[in-house]
Structure 1
């Protein structure tokens, strides 16, 4: 009986000491603005004011095999830029299909490689949140690869990537 109460008292004291060690400024609030994502909008190349969602878009990092987004069908999306380099490269595949079913013909997919160029500026937030990266001088280059480019044009809407309130780049296809 005595050891049962001793264990409970020990656990209670350990819990109190554990949480007493944390201070309010040790936790980064979810509302704190951290490194922003790059916001991209897609538009119809014929009617440049009309948003147009690409069909079954796949976005994959060129540097590794990880797929960032798969079968996306929306006209606006946000993707991360690298924080350790001044360039980020992604493969944007239009009409992506993992496996072709011989019973249902699918149009060929089309991949463009897009290189995003920028300068990185570190900004100290606070002790709990540490640093965030702001990107400036945003620019891009489209490489159509072996097939014809499906993205016809792009416009840099904002060269500074400091928040996710508006689009930073618009793609026309």
Structure 2
């Protein structure tokens, strides 16, 4: 289940984001400090083009979906997600959660936000997420290069059209 995030969950979201496995495939790989996270959280929750959604796996908060650049007229948005790697791993539910969070994010974007095109960007070396996206119908529509941890990295742009 996806639902809007609550203010008291901000630190939990930061902890998930700072997990080494999440940072290792993110565009920014440094550990997010409290002040940086507070700034992002405050800006995001007051921005009508963004949503922070909590993914609950079997009733337990287990991940976050970030929808951004929601353009109502163009009916498109960008998105990203990450999971509570440690919590889900300890329960043996990480793979199942990966599949569910993606499906629920797509359903939310298309039904709740009435998006026609959902767009994501993935490091080329993150084959697991690229494969997951393809399984859900995303198509690779372009590539570009960006600096990640001081190194130029290829990024693939993926889209799913309703």
Q: Same fold (TM over 0.5)?
A: no
User: Relative to total residues, which structure has the larger helix share, 1 or 2?
Assistant: 2
Q: TM-score, with normalisation over the residues of structure 2?
A: 0.27
